[in-house]
Amino acid sequence: MIGSMSKLFCGTNVLDISSPVVMGILNLTPDSFYDGGKYITVEIQLKQVEKMLIEGASIIDLGAVSTRPGAIGVDESTEIERLLPSIKSIAKHFPGCIISVDTYRQNVARVAVEHGASMINDIYGGRFDKGMLETVASLHVPYIMMHMKGTPANMQDNPVYSDVVAEVVFFFEKQLQQCHNKGVRQVIIDPGFGFGKTLEQNFELLTHLEEFRSLGIPILAGVSRKSMINKTLKIHASEALNGTSVLNTIALLKGADILRVHDVKEAIEAIRLVKMLG
């Protein structure tokens, strides 16, 4: 039954989220907004995975399709071709690693789990591929359900809400019912910072992040080096580590269970410091 959980069952691994954990981002794309093209070869990917695991990451999130604002999608076969060598290599070299795959296609999700992934991260929250929820249910893996208005190609074209917090909460209420109906038992919600939200709407969501606790579902916060930092401070993503740490700290104080980040060490430090507050 969907509800409050302190453990996620990820294949043969059990992840304790009774206190916050870190998901490290590994983009396999040539065009991601911050690190596109940086991790193209499997050898470089394995070095980065090792670094993130040593620094304290509990999950490694692989993305083979850029979802930055204005991004153009790639076809399913290209996505699988990018993912499989990485999944297989990571599973072989780091057998205890929990691999999440950032995909909105059911076939990609199935192939990824068959080859070593044990978590699915869907930016469309089950709305792109109508078979996604049934597939995730059959795979028995945790499912990260994100909110996005529109698509990556058009999501920042004047997104309008009457009440962004209430509308995103309502979206999750509706989709969680769908998850329940389809048999998905482990769900994490992601408000989708930067996905179809203005600068002000992003901060409104962060300000009221604790309101999502009423859903009884673990919360993932993904603010790492995003435009809500860069536009506010008038800096480039490469300069946004300090701003990321500040917003990660706020997210933790407001109840985030998982921090999805490019920089694991600093996120772990934020978690340790916030824990000292009691």
Please write the tens of the pLDDT for every residue from 142-188.
999 999 987 776 656 667 899 999 999 999 999 999 999 999 999 99
Evaluate if residue 31 carries a pLDDT over 80: no
Residue 182 annotated as catalytic: no
Catalytic residue flag (residue 110):
no
Q: What is the pLDDT of residues 52-87, one digit of tens each?
A: 999 999 999 999 988 776 666 789 999 999 999 999
User: Of residues 174, 226, 234, 275, which has the active-site annotation?
Assistant: 226
> What average pLDDT does the structure give for the chain?
92
The average pLDDT across 111-138 equals 97
Query: Which one from 68, 110, 260, 275 is the annotated catalytic residue?
Result: 260
**Domain 18-275 homologous superfamily, CATH:** Dihydropteroate synthase-like (3.20.20.20)
Q: What local confidence, expressed as pLDDT, does residue 98 receive? A: 98
Pairing relation of β-strands 220-221 and 187-190? unpaired
Does residue 15 surpass a pLDDT of 90? Answer: yes
Would you state the pLDDT for residue 29? 81
Residue 193 has pLDDT above 90, yes or no: yes
> Could you tell me the residue ranges of all domains in the chain?
18-275
Q: What is the mean pLDDT of residues 23-42?
A: 76
Confidence of residue 35 (pLDDT cuts 50, 70, 90): low
Higher pLDDT, 156 or 263: 263
The pLDDT value given to residue 71: 63
Cβ 89 vs Cβ 46: under 8 Å = yes
Dist. CA 6–CA 245, nearest whole Å: 24
Tell me the C-alpha distance between 17 and 21, whole Å. 6
> Predicted confidence band at 37 (pLDDT cuts at 50, 70, 90)?
low
CA angle, 225 as apex, 176 and 122 as ends, to 5°?
Answer: 25
Q: What's the whole-number mean pLDDT along residues 209-216?
A: 96
Q: Is 72 exposed, middle or buried (0-12, 13-18, 19+ CB in 10 A)?
A: exposed
Percentage above 90 pLDDT, the chain: 83
Residue 66 has what pLDDT? Answer: 80
pLDDT given at position 77: 94
Q: How confident is the model at residue 1 (pLDDT cuts 50, 70, 90)?
A: very low
